[in-house]
Structure 1
Amino acid sequence: MKTIIFYLTALLCLAASKMGAQTFERRARDISYNIAQISKEEKDSLKIEVEEVNKLLETDDITKEEADKRKLAFAEKRAANIEQRVAVEREKLDKLVQDRIDGNIEESFRSFSITYDPGTSKFKDTTKVKTYYEFKRTTSQFVFALGFNRLMTDGKVDNDNYKLRSDFYEWGLTFNTRILRNNNLLHAKYGLSLQYNNLRPEDDKVFVTDEGKTILADSGTDIDLARLRYVNLVVPVHLEFDFTKKQVNEDKTYYPTYNSFRVGLGGYAGINVKEKQILKYENADGNDVKERRRGNYNINDFVYGLSAYVGYESVSLYLKYDLQPVFENNEIDQNNVSLGIRFDLN
């Protein structure tokens, strides 16, 4: 009987522990697949819509001006669909990260057993609940950061041409690996992130290109909102110093993370995936206009830079600086610098 109880308990514990890991991996993989499918479906639909417009144009059923107008409308509709549908998947990812038990794991397992007492000739329920802690050497975190964004020109922060509301935000998935087997201080932190950088010009100015160079020019109207957004997909790598103390439980030593002060030093490298300028203003007829300009603003295709953070538990002060100039062909190099708050959520 005791042998059967032992094996039954071991199998239940093993199945429960594996179920948690597999559930997270499967759900994360499903979300990634859904995002890829959303992009593919909307692009395929846009391709079909454009082909139908081209057919109408070839048969002279519509003018070229009308064809271009329809294509633009279809493109904007599909882009909006992608943003809305991906936002749903992003919410799923946020909830998944909140449920994540891969870092500081505290789990309870119920050991089912029934024993026979010869004295009373009765069976007794001897079920016990055991709580244990497990801290894995490699954990994963959802990273979200936001704050202020500026351009550095000739080593100085340009506060004259850009509003205080120029901002950035970043989100991604990272992995944290303890470097030394029996020491909790040094960790390698690496992953994949999307960095959204926004520049908001002052004095009704907008970004324009002139002979391959990007400059600020007077818009000639009252601008309610002017924002240049460029999105970078980057691979961040940091050496993280985690001052969380080790724990000893039942003669075993464990190395928890994100329970004390942390410092991260490193950098990132990646590619520019999107750039656009968003304008809001009132036209001559008194109507509010929101305009999206997706032209080429001379943004560098590649980006690399330095970054650092210092904080307590999951919240840190975050600084990043692009070593690669933002604009490719400008005579004066302008580099992006960002300062904000960063959250690393297990």
Structure 2
Amino acid sequence: MSTNLAKAQSETSLNQNLKVEPKTSTFNRGETENSAWDFSKSVPVAKYSPKALENTLEEKHGRYDFDRYYPRKGTQSFVNIYIGLNNYLQDGDLPSSDELFTLNPLTSWYAALNFDHATRILGPLYLDWGIGASIQDLSFENTRVEVVVDRVNQSVDFVERMDRVGKKSKINMMHLNVHMVPTFSFGKYNSFRIGAGVYAGYRISSHTKYKYDDLNGDGQKDKFKDSLYINPFKYGLRAQMGWSSFDIFFNYDISELFEEEANAPRLNPVTFGVIF
């Protein structure tokens, strides 16, 4: 389960539904009216043992119902932040270093803000689902590369500009996304969890950005807003696992980056990151 399940608190609902008999000391009531104000007399004192409470909860509700990081029933909601790195695969492998569209994964960032939910299905099985917005940078390793869109030939070309000193060249995309990931949790408290599922997204914006120094040494920045023949819809597989409040995720786009009718490399984006 994602950080959703690591954050879920179910002790409150359990304590309200479970009656635990406290141990009490003896009460010796005095004979006089003033004895009610005599603090030397012993009074009832509830003695709750956290361990005893835990054991009682497990006896009455079972192993999976008592877990402060998971809802015993129903759904809990959270706001999560995703941070990761991007790359893409060509025919199942990373592009070779001599390809102009090869990415620098350390500067190809992924960031997302999600409204996520955790719904208990049965026993240790939960459904992690949610909706959110993401931003992806595909930053090229060769900073001289400029992305050129040819509408006549319906092509996306990667051109190396030898007349410029490249500083940074990238494609930026923004998507609205949904995901559904069945997840198993093993144990309780800071438990290990693992899940696999699917996601889909709709592109709401895209552009290229190219920073360089011209022949005079002056810094320039070109920004081109366009669809870039990027697929308007994407879908793929997602895997995630976590322990305590730490979770990692991996996204693989089954859909290709560029539209099928475009003359462009056949690339499948992948993203690896953490969830906060």
Deviation at 1:148, TM superposition (A): 2.4
C-alpha RMSD of matched pairs (Å) = 3.4
Deviation at 1:240, TM superposition (A): 0.6
Distance, in Å, in 2 between the alignment partners of 1:152 and 1:216 is 17
Corresponding residue of 1:49 = none
- 1:157 equivalent in alignment to 2:72: no
Distance, in Å, in 2 between the alignment partners of 1:285 and 1:301 is 39
Contact 1:150 1:159 in 2 (8 A): no
Corresponding residue of 2:23 = none
Please, which of 127, 139, 147 is the counterpart of residue 188 of structure 1? 127
Corresponding residue of 1:119 = 34
Distance, in Å, in 1 between the alignment partners of 2:275 and 2:141 is 30
Counterpart code for 1:196: I
Corresponding residue of 2:149 = 209
Where in structure 2 are the equivalents of 1:1-346 lying within 5 Å?
103=9, 118-120=33-35, 122=37, 136=71, 137=73, 138-160=75-97, 161-165=102-106, 166-180=108-122, 183=123, 185-203=124-142, 204-210=144-150, 211-219=153-161, 220-245=163-188, 259-328=190-259, 329-331=261-263, 332-340=265-273, 342-344=274-276
Distance change >3 Å, CA 172–CA 159, structure 1 → 2: farther
Contact 1:232 1:303 in 2 (8 A): no
Aligned length: 225
Q: TM-score, normalised by structure 2?
A: 0.69
Q: Deviations over 1:277-309 (max 9, x none)?
A: 122222344332333221231111111110101
Distance change >3 Å, CA 121–CA 264, structure 1 → 2: closer
Deviation at 1:224, TM superposition (A): 0.5
Counterpart code for 2:34: G
Deviation at 1:330, TM superposition (A): 3.2
Q: Secondary structure at the match of 1:269?
A: strand
Distance change >3 Å, CA 187–CA 290, structure 1 → 2: same
Contact 1:231 1:272 in 2 (8 A): yes
Q: Deviations over 1:40-64 (max 9, x none)?
A: xxxxxxxxxxxxxxxxxxxxxxxxx
State the percentage of identical aligned residues: 23
Gaps of 5+ in 2: 16-29, 54-65
Distance, in Å, in 1 between the alignment partners of 2:137 and 2:154 is 21
RCO higher in 1 or 2 (8 Å CA, sep ≥ 6)?
2
Counterpart code for 1:119: N
Counterpart code for 1:144: I
Distance, in Å, in 2 between the alignment partners of 1:178 and 1:226 is 44
Query: Which is richer in helix?
Result: 1
Gaps of 5+ in 1: 1-96, 109-116, 246-255
Distance change >3 Å, CA 103–CA 202, structure 1 → 2: same
Deviation at 1:106, TM superposition (A): 6.4
Q: Deviations over 1:122-172 (max 9, x none)?
A: 499x999x9999763322233222232112112211252222322322221
Distance, in Å, in 2 between the alignment partners of 1:217 and 1:287 is 21
Counterpart code for 1:153: Q
Distance, in Å, in 2 between the alignment partners of 1:283 and 1:123 is 91
Q: Secondary structure at the match of 1:157?
A: coil
Distance change >3 Å, CA 315–CA 102, structure 1 → 2: closer
